[in-house]
């Protein structure tokens, strides 16, 4: 268990979660869901983790894809490698534009692979009861019930 020694901001909690996962050698792709309270900091923490991990995984997929492409292209060219380098430098700008589009497509296509944040049912119920008990009419009814219970207790 990790003690939180600073303010419980989403960034700080995210760092602690990622450090803990790294310590135990757990990859985020092995985590399907995270259950937490309804705190805005916890909900935001999961969104940040999903974005950062998603970008990291998608970038790695893109790098692997580009390395595979480059290996395939260099094998096809063989002896004409100098000519290939000249053509490659001419097309660098359009290649960068294409790479940005490819990364965008990877991110869009993998949007469903995020970790699902699950809000704790017990905590949600506790909040509902707490808010209900703050209601003036509810307080009045509870007070009346207590009064009746005291009268019954005295009669016994």
Tell me the C-alpha to C-alpha distance, in Å, between residue 42 and each of 11, 37, 70, 112.
Answer: 10, 7, 42, 20
pTM of the model: 0.52
- The pLDDT-based confidence of 33 (bands split at 50, 70, 90) is confident
- φ/ψ of 88, rounded to 5, equals -60, -45
pLDDT mean across residues, the chain: 77
> Residue 115's pLDDT is what?
76
Q: How far apart are CA 9 and CA 101, in angstroms?
A: 34
Structure confidence by residue, pLDDT tens digits, 56-99: 655 666 666 666 666 765 555 454 555 455 555 555 555 555 65
Where is pLDDT greater, at 155 or 141? Answer: 141
């Amino acid at each position: 268990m990790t003690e939180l020694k600073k303010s419980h901001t989403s960034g700080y909690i995210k760092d602690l979660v990622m450090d803990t996962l790294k310590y135990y050698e757990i990859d985020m792709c092995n985590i399907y869901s995270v259950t937490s309270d309804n705190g805005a900091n916890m909900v935001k923490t999961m969104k940040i983790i999903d974005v950062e991990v998603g970008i990291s995984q998608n970038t790695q997929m893109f790098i692997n894809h580009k390395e595979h492409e480059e290996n395939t292209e260099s094998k096809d060219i063989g002896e004409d490698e100098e000519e290939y380098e000249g053509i490659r430098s001419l097309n660098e700008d359009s290649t960068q534009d294409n790479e940005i589009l490819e990364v965008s497509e990877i991110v869009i296509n993998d949007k469903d692979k995020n970790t699902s944040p699950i809000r704790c049912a017990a905590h949600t119920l506790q909040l509902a009861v707490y808010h209900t008990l703050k209601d003036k009419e509810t307080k009045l009814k509870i007070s009346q019930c207590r009064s009746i219970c005291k009268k019954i207790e005295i009669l016994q």
